[in-house]
């Protein structure tokens, strides 16, 4: 797929079928994460969750978080959930801690975006997944069940898989973010 097509066709897809992508395809998405611009001094980890019970535990935590009345899934039925976790910086100087953690999140964003673009290029759908990440912050047993290393926090995630949803090329909306030029 042309790079331009990948960019315009990437979209947050919220309908998945149950077809599991093969290992080679998942590995390509993970390789894309490693090709992202990542500074080398953060401690990061990628977890690929395909275990339904583990995903259900995170969904249950998210239900509790949003005070849902009945159990529902936040993962849109996707078969694959990839979590980016890392060790947040704890520095005696608050200013240093803040810029280091901002830098960490910046890296996570790059990783997430590379994975989504690679997924699109491979014909897979994807969607970033926030609820099941924030809701496990105070749930060490769920963090363990979904494979986050000890001492690491879940920082970002995507779900991915096969979808019957259309992924048409989208127009660029130049109103979305104001741009200014300093010439």
Ligand X SMILES: Cc1cc2nc3c(=O)[nH]c(=O)nc-3n(C[C@H](O)[C@H](O)[C@H](O)COP(=O)(O)O)c2cc1C
Q: Which is nearer to ligand X, 91 or 170 (CB)?
A: 170
CA 30, 34, 36, 41 torsion: positive or negative?
Answer: positive
**Out of 131, 144, 147, 149, which residue is the one contacting ligand X (CB under 6 A)?**
131
Query: Interface mask (CB under 6 A) for ligand X, residues 83-122, using x and -?
Result: ----------------------------------------
Asked if 45 is part of the footprint of ligand X (rule: CB under 6 A), the reply reads no
For 12-87, where are the E strands, in sequence order? 44-49, 80-86
Residue 105 CB neighbour total at 10 angstroms: 14
Stretch that binds ligand X, among 19-27, 29-37, 82-90, 129-137 (CB under 6 A): 129-137
Distance of closest approach, residue 129 Cβ to ligand X, in angstroms: 5
12 contributes a contact to ligand X by CB under 6 A = yes
**Which residue's beta carbon is nearest to the bound ligand X?**
130
Whole-number Cα distances in Å, 139 to 27, 65, 117, 148: 28, 11, 31, 11
Helix (H) or strand (E) holding 183: none
Does the protein bind ligand X through residue 129 (CB under 6 A)?
Answer: yes
11 binds ligand X (CB under 6 A): yes
Minimum Å gap between C-beta 109 and ligand X is: 8
How many residues interact with ligand X (rule CB under 6 A)? 8
Residues that bind ligand X (CB under 6 A): 11-12, 14, 127-131
């Amino acid at each position: 797929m042309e790079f331009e097509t990948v960019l315009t066709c990437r979209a947050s897809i919220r309908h998945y079928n149950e077809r599991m992508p093969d290992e080679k395809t998942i590995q390509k998405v993970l390789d894309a994460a490693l090709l992202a611009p990542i500074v080398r001094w953060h401690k990061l980890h990628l977890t690929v969750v395909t275990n339904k019970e583990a995903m259900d535990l995170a969904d249950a935590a998210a239900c509790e978080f949003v005070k849902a009345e009945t159990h529902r899934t936040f993962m849109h039925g996707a078969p694959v959930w990839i979590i980016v976790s890392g060790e947040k910086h704890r520095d005696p100087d608050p200013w240093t801690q803040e810029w280091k953690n901002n830098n960490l999140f910046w890296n996570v964003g790059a990783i997430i975006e590379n994975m989504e673009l690679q997924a699109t290029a491979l014909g897979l759908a994807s969607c970033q997944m926030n609820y099941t990440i924030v809701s496990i912050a105070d749930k060490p047993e769920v963090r363990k069940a979904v494979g986050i290393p000890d001492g690491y926090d879940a920082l970002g995630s995507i779900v991915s898989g096969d979808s019957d949803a259309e992924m048409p090329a989208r127009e660029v909306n130049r109103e979305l973010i104001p741009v200014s030029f300093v010439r």
